[in-house]
Amino acid sequence: MSEAAACAYVHDVSGDRFDDVDGGAWACPRDALPDTDHCVFHQPVRALSERGVTAERVGAAIVDVVESGTENRLFGAVCPGIDLEYAVVDGETTHPIDLRESWILGDVECHNCRFANVVRFDGSVFESRAAFEDGSFGASARFTGVEFRGPVSFNLTAFRRWADLEDATFRDEAVFRGAAFEKGLFGVGVTFRGAADFMNAEFHSVANFYEATFERGGLFSSATFRGDAKFTASELGAPVAVGTNFVDDPSLAGSSLPYSDGAIPGTCLVLTSGVCVGDVQLADATAESRILLRDVDLRGDVELRELTARGDGPVTVDFRNVDAVSGVIEVAGDHAFDFGGSVVGDVLLEGAASAEPDLERFRFENAVFDGFDFGAYRSLFDRLEWRLHGDDEATPAERENTYLRAKNGAVDVGENTAAREFHFREMLNRGRSYRRAAFGAGDSDRREADGRARLRFARKWLSNQVLRYTCGYGERAGRVVYASVAVIAFYAAAYAWLGVDLTYRGPLAALAFSFQSFNALVLGIPEVSTPVLGVVVASEAFIGPFFVALFVFAITQSVGR
């Protein structure tokens, strides 16, 4: 029997992609198929069908090559598809399964396939669907410069080593739900033209999407990042598209995300309900619409600088219910930042001095401040009038809690001005809560309260209002002076109107008489001619010491802060 002829295929390896291969050309060492000049991997496209080259045969040939212990290089392979369903691709050597610059025409079925060797598809083209679901890559998986023209699914796939998607292009949806990247994902320059769905994925090391393009947004809901999540200089389009090429699609309809018809409208990046142990880096990114970083256990820092809006309006960055927000956030431009319900820690707000004071841009409702330096941004909060809420539907009780937390955070860092202003607004909203409870504008259970409860809340509201207008809840010492002058002037007008016989003469007689009555504790009660006038004078003498006490209280509290 004559010896089989060698495959006649020669591949150009002079480019940078083959810098590990000697020489400028690589000759395929495989045996050619009978009556042909090429092996099973390098048959002409027009001859694949007539020579019986199928996806199943290609898959079996790959397993045979790896198990033979010979060279695993299959550069420039032309495959009608690859079927490795439930296969174990594990050879005696550690040579990579090397399909660089291959052309895969049909479907790739690698469900539950286990690759033990390094797998390389650098520069290859997948014309149809590629499914690597429920499988594992025991060594590195390299898809550098690959073009996926059909939908791709890596659901529940385990990448035990590096997963390299550098400069890869996904023209259709790419779904990585539940995938585990145990040594990290290198996605520098990757382009997702369809859905980029990484829901429930686990990144045990860095997830690097530097200069990546997400034309239909990125979905990372419930993902876990044990290293950094790098989206530096990435482009984020909208709305976020949700992947569909997987079995038992867990619907998003019941989640907190505004899911509708396979997309999340008004959003270009979703990183919610997950954990990020490292940093979230979004410097120099371009975003078309809102960025959601909601309900995230964020243990690293945020880097958000030079965010560019690709659309017409500004971008909203949603940090609601994040534990905790720290790092560097540039607030220049018209972008909006919502920190509602979050723990705001050591955050450097770049550009705060020149930022427009708009409550629609800065939301801190129900936030906890743990180490946030209010003093560094006093000018911003001054221009915001120390308000942390906009015109929303929050109840006065909820707003009271917001300012209580802000006050406690300011006290912790020794920022007395902020503590004073937040305490004022805390008490202001407490008074509004009393008013709602007393006059039937509160919750249903309060509306049905009996008259005694209403009266109690009315008394509390009245006391709150007295403190508000007389001393600003102890934070406005000047109001005590103004209120005292108002009381003296009121009584002076009353004395003049009553036409009483005063101990003083002249146009300011009534005012002088009222001033002495107000300070009767020091100056003594002036002489009166009738019992009725004595009662009026005594009432003013009774009020005066209270205002003195309020003034001392306000001054003491201000000095104490």
The last residue of a domain, from among 79, 95, 128: 128
Residue with tokens 């629609």: 360
- Number of neighbours of residue 237 by Cβ within 10 angstroms: 23
Dist. CA 288–CA 281, nearest whole Å: 17
How far lies 71's CA from each of 88, 94, 144, 367, in Å?
Answer: 18, 10, 21, 60
For residues 468 and 475, the answer to whether their CB atoms sit within 8 Å is: no
Q: Is 120 exposed, middle or buried (0-12, 13-18, 19+ CB in 10 A)?
A: buried
Q: What b/e sequence results for 512-542 when a residue is b if at least 16 CB atoms lie within 10 Å of its CB, and e otherwise?
A: bbbbbbbbbeeeeebebeeeebeebbeebbe
- Residue 542: helix, strand or coil by DSSP? helix
In a domain, 552, yes or no: yes
pLDDT at position 248 is 43
Q: Are residues 484 and 517 in the same domain?
A: yes
For residues 25 and 13, the answer to whether their CB atoms sit within 8 Å is: yes
The boundaries of the domain holding residue 83 are 1-128
The last residue of a domain, from among 104, 128, 152: 128
Dist. CA 9–CA 38, nearest whole Å: 6
In a domain, 347, yes or no: no
Phi, psi of 546 (to 5 degrees): -65, -40
Q: Are residues 46 and 106 in the same domain?
A: yes
Q: Are residues 436 and 531 in the same domain?
A: no
pLDDT at position 382 is 86
Q: Are residues 443 and 494 in the same domain?
A: no
Dist. CA 62–CA 548, nearest whole Å: 93
Q: Are residues 543 and 432 in the same domain?
A: no
Dist. CA 240–CA 223, nearest whole Å: 16
pLDDT at position 446 is 47
In a domain, 95, yes or no: yes
**pTM, entire model:** 0.82
Q: Are residues 490 and 552 in the same domain?
A: yes
Dist. CA 405–CA 426, nearest whole Å: 9
In a domain, 224, yes or no: no
Q: Are residues 117 and 3 in the same domain?
A: yes
Strands, DSSP E only, in 339-495? 343-350, 362-363, 368-369
pLDDT at position 247 is 46
Q: Are residues 511 and 444 in the same domain?
A: no
In a domain, 134, yes or no: no
DSSP state of 417: H
User: Which residue, 236, 177, 182, 183, is CA-closest to 209?
Assistant: 236
For 430, half-sphere exposure in the C-beta direction (CA atoms, 13 angstrom radius) is 18
In a domain, 390, yes or no: no
Dist. CA 38–CA 27, nearest whole Å: 11
Q: Are residues 27 and 121 in the same domain?
A: yes
Q: Are residues 457 and 483 in the same domain?
A: no
In a domain, 219, yes or no: no
For residues 302 and 278, the answer to whether their CB atoms sit within 8 Å is: no
- Domain tally for the chain? 3
Q: Are residues 481 and 461 in the same domain?
A: no
Q: Is 196 exposed, middle or buried (0-12, 13-18, 19+ CB in 10 A)?
A: buried
Residues in the chain, overall count: 561
pLDDT at position 193 is 97
Q: Are residues 459 and 485 in the same domain?
A: no
Please provide the distance, in angstroms rounded to a whole number, between the alpha carbons at the two ends of the chain.
Answer: 101
DSSP alpha helix (H) spans, 327-383 = 378-383
In a domain, 92, yes or no: yes
Q: What b/e sequence results for 147-171 when a residue is b if at least 16 CB atoms lie within 10 Å of its CB, and e otherwise?
A: bbbbbbbbbbbbbbebbbbbbbbbb
pLDDT at position 531 is 66
Dist. CA 177–CA 220, nearest whole Å: 9
Under-70 pLDDT residues of the chain: 1-3, 245-255, 357-360, 391-392, 441-450, 498-507, 520-534, 557-561
At 351, the amino acid letter reads G
